[in-house]
Amino acid sequence: MKLNLNRPLAFFDLETTGVNVGSDRIVEIAILKAMPDGTEIIKTLRINPEMPIPLHSSLIHGIYDKDIADQPTFKAVAQEISDFIGDADLAGYNSNRFDIPVLLEEFLRVGVDFDMSDRKFVDVQNIFHQMEQRTLRAAYKFYCDKDIINAHSAEADIVATYQVLLAQLDKYKDADYEDKQGNISKPVQNNVEALHTFTNMNKTVDFAGRMVYNEDNEEIFNFGKHKGKTVEQVFSIEPSYYSWMLQGDFPLFTKKKLTEIWSRFNKKKEQARLQKQQQTQQSRPQPAPAKPKNNVLSQQQQPKKDKPAAAVTNDMLEQLKMKFGK
């Protein structure tokens, strides 16, 4: 079966130093880019993680420190990887919870702005787990009736993942799926939009799952003492929680999304403050208009009129003579 694509779909798989999204690093990346015309392009790179590979990880994927000692660092190949993926949608096996977050961390560390805003994400594991509940090895055996040769090699795993998706599209073309609310649908369709919806049912904000969307499409915390509360609500009652998360051991992409919400929250708060200030000014009583001045001076302001001088009499003259002795 040929994938029905409007733009490329990049299947990718990572081998890493461990499973901590925030601190572990990539040692190998394989990308299978399925094109709308049906062609496929594969790119595989080994990467020096600039840290020792723990033995338990090397035993799983077979890559040891000596194997990557002379390989380029992620910083040296980051732009090459970004350019190869281009505007493709992303697909993988458990990619939403691990591969995509780890890849984003690596891009953010080296300052490459890998835009995620308009991409679709198809997690083949989610289709498999929701329909059959198996591992990749079992999925490959179940759907393709084959055994993975050289399992835990990034290239072998991603080729198997690609072939599993094609087989899933055949097997579940008309299959019914009943969700937890009892709704029945046929979600596995040869359409990236439909596969994106079906494999991203939890609607995570940051891929690591620290924040998810609720039914009202609001970001809520999915861990800790504030689990279930909206992020903006927590910012209102405990603003220091933002600083605590920025300083904590959380993935860089989680911190990036948290900062976007923090900026939006403060912008809304400032707009509310200005609106309240305007309303307060409009509700204040206006001073009464000044009364027009009367051209006629008030009685108190009118100049006093001089009284006419009294006539001098003989009695007055006699009194003056007696007073001054003249």
Residues 15 and 132 in one domain: yes
Domain that holds residue 258: 203-280
Helix (H, G, I), strand (E, B) or coil at 151: coil
**Which backbone phi and psi does 263 adopt, to 5 degrees?**
-65, -45
Residues 27 and 78 in one domain: yes
Is 298 part of a structural domain of the chain? no
Q: What is the rounded average pLDDT of the residues 39-58?
A: 95
Q: In this structure, what CATH number is given to the domain that contains residue 82?
A: 3.30.420.10
Q: How far apart are the C-alpha atoms of 95 and 179, rounded to whole Å?
A: 22
How confident is the model over 212-265, as pLDDT tens digits?
998 889 999 999 899 889 999 999 999 999 999 999 999 999 999 999 999 999
Mean pLDDT taken over the chain: 88
Domain termination site, one of 168, 201, 234 = 201
**What is the model's pLDDT at position 303?**
57
How confident is the model over 59-96, as pLDDT tens digits?
989 999 999 999 999 999 999 999 999 999 999 999 99
Residues 148 and 180 in one domain: yes
Specify the higher pLDDT residue, 320 or 166: 166
How confident is the model over 88-139, as pLDDT tens digits?
999 999 999 999 999 999 999 999 999 998 999 999 999 988 887 678 888 9
Residues 117 and 195 in one domain: yes
**What is the model's pLDDT at position 135?**
82
Q: How far apart are the C-alpha atoms of 237 and 234, rounded to whole Å?
A: 5
Burial of 204 (0-12, 13-18, 19+ CB in 10 A): buried
Helix (H, G, I), strand (E, B) or coil at 307: coil
Whether this model's pTM surpasses 0.85: no
Residues 15 and 70 in one domain: yes
Domain termination site, one of 179, 201, 223 = 201
Domain termination site, one of 201, 226, 241 = 201
9-18, 30-39, 60-69, 298-307: range with lowest mean pLDDT: 298-307
Residues 133 and 61 in one domain: yes
Highest mean pLDDT among 124-133, 189-198, 282-291: 189-198
Give the position of tokens 């992303």.
90
Total domains, the chain: 2
